[in-house]
Structure formats: C-alpha cells, structure tokens
Amino acid sequence: MRDGEANDNAVRNGSRLHIRHAPLLLPYAALCFPGMYARATPALFGFPFFCWYQFVWVGLTSALLWFYYRLVFGCR
C-alpha cells in the first residue's frame, strides 16, 4: 500500500484529527508547566495549591474524556 493510499483511507474513514479535538490538549497544557502552579497558597482545606490544583484537573479531565467519548461513540 502506498503512503498516499493510507492517507486517503484515513481521510475517508474520518480518523484524522479535527479542530474539535483541540480541547483534549487542555489538561496537558494546564499541567505541563509546574512552575506556574508550584506554590503553597492559596490553600484549600489545608492542602497546598500544588496538590489540589492537580486533583481538580483529574476530575476535569475525566469529565472531558467522558464528554468526548459520548460525542464520538454515543451516536452509534
């Protein structure tokens, strides 16, 4: 199979990345640079910002992935 044929098949099958998938990069971008959130204040229930910020992103990422799963596979 030629490279062009594989690319054409990907386009036909809809397996190429679309701009609508860009929000999936948000958790990566938010957690990629720890220098931005590696601090102790503001504390929440005694947890430093560094800890609770990451825990909040675990929940947000799970919700985001669930939303995209339903978007892609829920209509089938």
Count of the separate structural domains present in the chain:
1
Query: Would the pTM of this model clear 0.85, i.e. be above it?
Result: no
Q: Please answer whether residues 40 and 48 qualify as being in contact, where contact means their C-beta atoms are separated by less than 8 angstroms.
A: yes
Which pLDDT value is given to residue 59? 95
- Asked if the structure places residue 61 within a domain, the reply is yes
Give the position of tokens 């430093």: 48
37: domain range?
Answer: 19-73
pLDDT in tens, 23-67: 888 898 888 988 888 888 898 888 899 999 999 999 999 999 998
- Asked if the structure places residue 48 within a domain, the reply is yes
Does residue 18 surpass a pLDDT of 80?
no
- Asked if the structure places residue 57 within a domain, the reply is yes
Peptide bond into 34 cis (omega under 30): no
**Model confidence at 17, in pLDDT bands (50, 70, 90)?**
low
Q: Please answer whether residues 27 and 57 qualify as being in contact, where contact means their C-beta atoms are separated by less than 8 angstroms.
A: yes
Cβ within 8 Å of residue 57, ≥6 positions away: 27, 30, 31
